[in-house]
Structure 1
Amino acid sequence: MTRRLSLALLLALLAIMAVAWVPGCGSNDGNEFEDRNPDGSLPDGGDPGGGFGDSGGGGGGGNGTDGDFSITPRDQTIDVAIDQEKVTVAPATLKFQGKWRDQDVVASWSLDRGELGVVDNNGVFTPANTFARAMSGVVRVTGRYQRDRLYQASTAVTVRLHITQNGKPADPNGHGVGGVPIGGTVDNATKARLKGTPTNAPDLIGLYPYDGTVWPRGLFAPLLQWQSAHPAKAVYIHLKENGFEYEGFSSGTNLVNQPIWQAIWDKATYGNSGDPKDLLTLEIRIDDGAKTYGTITRSWTIAPGALKGTVYYNSYNTKLADAPTNGNSAGVIAIRPGQNQPVLAFPENKNKCFVCHTVSDDGSTLFAQYGVEGNDSTGRLNYANGRSYDLRNGQRIADYPGDQASNVANNRKFLWSGVYKDGSFALQSSRHTQEFYDGDTHVFRRDNGQPVAASGIDGVITEAVTPAFSPDGKKVAFNQWTGGPGAGNGYSLSMMDFACGAGGGGTGPSCGSLAFSGLTTLYTSPVREDRKGFLGWPAWLPDSTGLVFHNVIKRPDGSDSPLATWKNAEAQISFVGTNKVFNALRNLNGANPNGSERYLPTNDLHKNDERLNYEPTVNPIPSGGYYWVVFTSRRMYGNVAPGNPYEVGNGSAPVPKKLWVAAIDINRTDGKDPSHPAFYLPAQELNAGNLRGYWVVDPCKKNGNSCATGDECCNGFCRQNDQGALVCTDKPQGCAQEYENCEKDSDCCGAGAGYVCINNRCARKVN
């Protein structure tokens, strides 16, 4: 827990620095740092230049003068070496001097990245010089000199970090990623072999993570997994990026996986510049006691942003929910990126098989169904009963009791419904899913479950299956199974415009009137057969310009719903824009739609894992230049969960059915795959089958509460107070920072230089 708190403090510190120095965004002097990009990077991209030990000049010059005022020296590089968590090459200090027309003058000094070091009143910069604090990156040192006006000049210092570790550090393992802990030490002879030229071994195959993955900051470190015919007694893990290098050695018996040390993962991801050219590269070599074999290589992009919000997902055979007498242990589980374990979202629902949930984009409302034993003719559990919760306070809003035998009006009400962005009402999904509402599509209000008049839907669209409102609330997408022109019998996705009339509110719908219009077909499957071609589970991107969806390759065996995910069902995640341009997300799925050129590993049970991806949703907040899709997959998770992809399990062994996450380029191009290879979402219960993740924003904070970024605040802004702490506040003067509220692109710091307004939040677009 200490490590996570330290990371949170680091994030807060980074945010404080951004508030202090980004022009027009909360600094005391409106013209400070006009030579720096809005995100705090150098104008030329801040490439530190050269690998560790090179004499490259580092980071670019920036604005080193201001009229007759300048500072020296310029563009310096400092190297720090650490072995076994101890500094072995002590970082040098740098003395900066202010000059007026080449004469020394007394200046005041500051930094833009306090986590990289400190500068004193005399202009002496000292980089962080302990293992715990050491970070790589580019820091800008600024001198200020008061004469007829305030002059300022700045220069870059590149801090480069080289860390070696032999054997297990003082770092606990167990982040819901599986595997064995970091092993013991490696002798000198084995180390020499591991760092030398390895024997080529085609049978040495990397299983996880995948090459080309885009990683956000703030996650638990991934578990490195491989297979080989040579039993590994030692392993060498080599990570490198601009300004950072790590060499780790560990020993064991028949090693097939090893975690990356969490402290190292944090330093690598937070020290990365965020420039797509600054790749984090990985090398893995193994040694059997006589020879070294290699090399597994990976290259990854680090997105300069942390994931936001909470994922709510269904889990079966979870240890967090006790099993009812006649059913499996199941519940809605909550997990936040950076947490080391999930929690039962609503403890009062133990023993109820509380599942099949949907959530509003603003994070206010969750609808779900729960089973009650004995209320159908067989006495089995069913999901006829509904319930809603206010996620801001964890309080129940309303119950919607149903009777599977007769009460169609309430039976499975709100099941798979499209929830409006504020949660006050939902468009009901009708029939054709595995569990379904058996009436025609209507809009129902949250407070009492009663229908609401909705022109364009009522009496027109009878079966809108798995509907979803766009984040801006102006559109809705669904599978138009029947009813209305263009009905596709399960093989098409449709879209309608939605107008929210004035009025409403109180405990009822926030819209005084509801009007749907402009029915159009977004996409029709080119394959329309009884066993394939069905479309469902659409989920909008945050900018409301397109959506990802579940594209059936093979429907389940038997007569189950074609949109179900079990009994040998196969599906892929696809994309379609509101301009009707379709794109198969090859990188996310793991191969081309026809199954060729797959990069996913295989075994006897997992021969076509690129066809085992289902039910996508999208994080409503962009981060680091990307949208983030969370989806269910039955793919093998390396050698931790390589078993039967359709295994239900009994909670005693890992099963493959898990949540995965993939990045989607914000700055996408029609006809080009905007997705990237996915990563396993850490901290899931390995022995539970998990699915249907909804990523939602967390409850907002009122003014005066601590924060890291503006999306956490009810008023949308997080700034430094008089005591130097970041707190929620009203809209300040000047532009809005990343994650803060906006209405148009020009509201954002850096508008025109890679920052745009997406779903009323400023976001980095360029990646």
Structure 2
Amino acid sequence: MRRLSFALFLTLLLLMAFAWIPACGSNGDVGFDPNDGKDGSTIDGPNGGEFPDGSRYADGRAVDPLTIEPSTVTVQVEINNGAVTANPVAFKAKANGREVDATWSIDRGELGKFAASGGAFTPSGNLGGIGKITARSQARIGVATVIVEIKMTQNGAPASPGGGGVGGSPLGGPVDGATKGRLDGPATPAADLVWLYPYDGTVWPRGLFAPLLQWQSGRAAKAVSIHLSSTGFDFKGYFAGNNLVNQPILQSAWDKATYGNRGDALKVELRIDDGSKTYGTITRTWKVAAGVLKGTVYYNSYNTKLVTYKVDGNSGGILSIKPGQTFPVLTVPGAKDKCIVCHTVSDDGSTLFSQQTNYADGASYNLRNGAAVIKNYTGDAPGGTTNNRKFLWSGVYRDGTFALQSSGYTQESYPNESQIFARDDGRAMPATGFDAVVKQAVTPAFSPDGKKVAFNYWTAENDSITPKAGNGRSLAVMDFACGAGGSTTGGPSCGSFAFSGLREIFRNPDAPADKGFVGWPAWLPDGKALVFHNVMKVPTSGSVISTWHGAQAQISYVDMNGASNALRALNGANPDGSNRYLPTNAQHPNDELLNYEPTVNPIASGGYYWVVFTSRRMYGNVAPGDPYDLGTGDNPTPKKLWVAAIDINAPAGTDPSHPAFYLPGQELNAGNLRGFWSVDPCHQNGTSCQTGDECCNGFCRENTPGGGLVCTDKPSGCAQEYESCTTTSDCCAGGGDIRCLNNRCAQIIN
């Protein structure tokens, strides 16, 4: 008998040893109970059922998958006057064709929940949409899809209708059976039934108050029906009243329609009934952005009820409003007995600059500390520069530590040349490449990344400088370098200030003399384009780039290659530029020319950029009066803030804008202007959050598995939407439908 080699002997010994090792127990993470069939039968696998990595058995063969039945199911939820009817769905998890015990979860808890045990899922009725169902049976995982569809009806206002901040009539009462039958039946067309607001083609973000539907008709409406529909959602509301000319959409229906939207069109249909006959149908079709608006809008408000101090019978103050608020608040606490107006805000939401009472004095405020005063600017600053109107309409650097001063030509203006001024004491800072080149930069604005500045290039230091100054009709851009060595104790964050590359990107002709002036440039978040105020008719007195005394202007767009266009849809014209879609009356024949002073939300949301601007257009039949009314009477003034979506990926040469919507929450009787959009002050690690833009370190994640979201340091893996990034490759799905814009991962609509 031949002697076994040592190697062969060792191999046999090891095989014998492995044969005696027991299989992994049923409590382990990598095995399964051989008696895990729900009927008590055995579901055997090779090698005792071991699959060490959860996907393969020990001998290398793939684990039989866990399947869920049904794999896809559509659930219908009916909500009638607030009462929810929803039948549960029984899901089953199976392995090798036999049902097994499993734990169940859904990635969208707002759609519904599972029973404490078993696979029974019950929709909540809160929202519709598509959810991912996950079943886990030890190491095996299976997935399925649930589609929740909602059909909703409401007859008359509920006890708690929600909503607000949009003016007009409240929801009416219930309609009787005969009226409801007419509203649901054939309707008689009526040419005099005209839709006023909202506009066709509007893009809505999520999280706003429901809009107020406004119309005009030659018939006195005693009842209306409002029908909202999109994929998987249907709402019909019936409301009675006297001489109805406007009605809000039920807030709970609006929330379901917008948060549950799947990217398709949201259609609204309106009918009216005069007590004997139903007329209509008039319709509008909208888009819903898959995101909420971020940040806060700070704006000047004249004759606000939040300020008691008056000058020449008028009050003024700086108010702030977050999308979703019913009413604005006074930005500077205790300022109700003062006149604090004419403001600018840093992009990071840390610093507010404003003027006081006589405009000669000003101050800076720390918005991260309850708007506490940082510095009052009176008299002369160190070095001898005047503080008279200093920081007024200046271009504030993104962290608020310094600003490039606007010089001359605004309604209230700094009287000397443009310079860099430090926030801490108002002193002038040397700026190479700028001080000897540009004399008067009007309404300047730094880009979100702080590397460029744009301004109305009104006056150069001498005539030999090229390009030539535009005398109020041109926009220029310069590169900016923030030198190392800046202060860490409250002074400017840059150790030096260097400008270069003066270049003109937009110029209007010099004639006719009553138009063509430009101002108030504002950067889109990617720093590749600007929106600005383009004068169509200069006012009869005051600054040529103001909003009053008959001033007419439009919001225009220009990219860094000099390609420009009027934002036709935002301003109120049809996409091809022909005709206007805005309603008219005797006092509002050309509202597409009454749009001024844009600023841009620094954060892209839901696949769009968002522009807030001043407009004197009529707000349907709620504010149809004199567009230049100061808001001193009991009638709402049309001078208000509006918001419009801008496409991120618009093809070159096309209009990237969409029709605007009224920003909810404004006081109807106050004249509001110069909405300055800024991100909210960031939160430190450990603070609760919803998305990464709220956090100083840029990330918002679960503190423990299944726990709440808190601000945190950068975790491993990719960055989610709204979280911090340096390049697009940092973002989850980077290069696809997510892009790094202004150091935040942002969704892109292609």
| TM-score normalised by length of structure 2 | 0.88
C-alpha displacement at 1:387, in angstroms?
0.6
C-alpha displacement at 1:527, in angstroms?
5.8
Tell me the equivalent position of 2:81. Answer: 84
Per the alignment, do residues 587 and 532 of structure 1 end up closer, same or farther by CA in structure 2, a change over 3 Å counting?
A: same
2:190 matches 1:201:
yes
Aligned with residue 450 of structure 2, among 473, 477, 487: 473
Unaligned runs of 5+ in 1: 1-28, 30-64, 372-381
Aligned with residue 445 of structure 1, among 396, 411, 422: 422
Any conservation in 2 of the 1:177–1:223 contact (CA below 8 Å)? Answer: yes
For 1:201 and 1:683, locate their aligned partners in 2 and report how far apart those are by CA, in whole Å: 33
Aligned pairs for 1:100-499 (under 5 A) are: 100-120=95-115, 122-129=117-124, 133-146=125-138, 150-172=139-161, 175-273=164-262, 275=263, 278-324=264-310, 326=312, 328-371=314-357, 382-393=358-369, 394-402=371-379, 409-483=386-460, 484-485=465-466, 486-499=468-481
C-alpha displacement at 1:143, in angstroms?
1.8
C-alpha displacement at 1:402, in angstroms?
4.7
| TM-score normalised by length of structure 1 | 0.86
| SS of corresponding position for 1:314 | strand
Tell me the equivalent position of 1:609. Answer: 591
Q: What amino acid does structure 2 have at the position aligned with 1:730?
A: D
Per the alignment, do residues 594 and 72 of structure 1 end up closer, same or farther by CA in structure 2, a change over 3 Å counting?
A: closer
| SS of corresponding position for 1:267 | helix
C-alpha displacement at 1:640, in angstroms?
0.4
Aligned pairs for 1:503-542 (under 5 A) are: 503-505=485-487, 506-526=489-509, 528-542=511-525
Larger CA Rg, structure 1 vs 2: 2
C-alpha displacement at 1:533, in angstroms?
0.4
| SS of corresponding position for 1:265 | helix
Q: What amino acid does structure 1 have at the position aligned with 2:667?
A: E
Q: What amino acid does structure 1 have at the position aligned with 2:67?
A: S
For 1:418 and 1:594, locate their aligned partners in 2 and report how far apart those are by CA, in whole Å: 34
After superposition, give the CA deviation of every residue in 1:582-620 in whole Å (9 maximum; x if it has no partner): 121111000169974211000000010000000000011
Any conservation in 2 of the 1:609–1:636 contact (CA below 8 Å)? Answer: yes
Q: What amino acid does structure 1 have at the position aligned with 2:126?
A: A
Tell me the equivalent position of 1:93. Answer: 88
Any conservation in 1 of the 2:163–2:210 contact (CA below 8 Å)? Answer: no
Tell me the equivalent position of 1:59. Answer: none
Q: What amino acid does structure 1 have at the position aligned with 2:132?
A: R
| SS of corresponding position for 2:334 | helix
After superposition, give the CA deviation of every residue in 1:201-244 in whole Å (9 maximum; x if it has no partner): 11111111111100011111111100000110000000011111
Aligned length: 679
| SS of corresponding position for 1:467 | strand
Q: CA RMSD in A?
A: 1.8
Any conservation in 2 of the 1:408–1:438 contact (CA below 8 Å)? Answer: no
For 2:335 and 2:423, locate their aligned partners in 1 and report how far apart those are by CA, in whole Å: 19
C-alpha displacement at 1:135, in angstroms?
1.6
Unaligned runs of 5+ in 2: 1-28, 30-61
Tell me the equivalent position of 2:719. Answer: 736
Any conservation in 1 of the 2:72–2:145 contact (CA below 8 Å)? Answer: yes
For 1:193 and 1:527, locate their aligned partners in 2 and report how far apart those are by CA, in whole Å: 60
C-alpha displacement at 1:127, in angstroms?
2.7
2:655 matches 1:673:
yes
Q: What amino acid does structure 1 have at the position aligned with 2:134?
A: T
- Which runs of at least 4 in structure 1 moved beyond 6 Å after TM superposition? none
Any conservation in 2 of the 1:319–1:651 contact (CA below 8 Å)? Answer: no
Aligned pairs for 1:645-684 (under 5 A) are: 645-684=627-666
Per the alignment, do residues 448 and 166 of structure 1 end up closer, same or farther by CA in structure 2, a change over 3 Å counting?
A: same
Per the alignment, do residues 583 and 203 of structure 1 end up closer, same or farther by CA in structure 2, a change over 3 Å counting?
A: same
Aligned with residue 69 of structure 2, among 68, 72, 75: 72
Which is further off, 422-431 or 503-512?
503-512
C-alpha displacement at 1:327, in angstroms?
5.0
For 2:238 and 2:685, locate their aligned partners in 1 and report how far apart those are by CA, in whole Å: 48
For 1:690 and 1:285, locate their aligned partners in 2 and report how far apart those are by CA, in whole Å: 33
Tell me the equivalent position of 1:727. Answer: 710
Q: What amino acid does structure 2 have at the position aligned with 1:104?
A: E
Any conservation in 1 of the 2:569–2:575 contact (CA below 8 Å)? Answer: no
Per the alignment, do residues 162 and 173 of structure 1 end up closer, same or farther by CA in structure 2, a change over 3 Å counting?
A: closer
2:601 matches 1:619:
yes
For 1:593 and 1:215, locate their aligned partners in 2 and report how far apart those are by CA, in whole Å: 18
**Higher relative contact order (CA closer than 8 Å, sequence separation 6+):** 1
Which is further off, 447-456 or 574-583?
574-583
Tell me the equivalent position of 1:576. Answer: 558
C-alpha displacement at 1:686, in angstroms?
0.2
Per the alignment, do residues 645 and 491 of structure 1 end up closer, same or farther by CA in structure 2, a change over 3 Å counting?
A: same
Q: What amino acid does structure 2 have at the position aligned with 1:208?
A: Y
Tell me the equivalent position of 1:50. Answer: none
Q: What amino acid does structure 1 have at the position aligned with 2:341?
A: V
C-alpha displacement at 1:734, in angstroms?
1.1
C-alpha displacement at 1:176, in angstroms?
2.4
Q: What amino acid does structure 2 have at the position aligned with 1:158?
A: I
| SS of corresponding position for 2:729 | helix
Q: Percentage identity across aligned positions?
A: 62
Tell me the equivalent position of 1:60. Answer: none
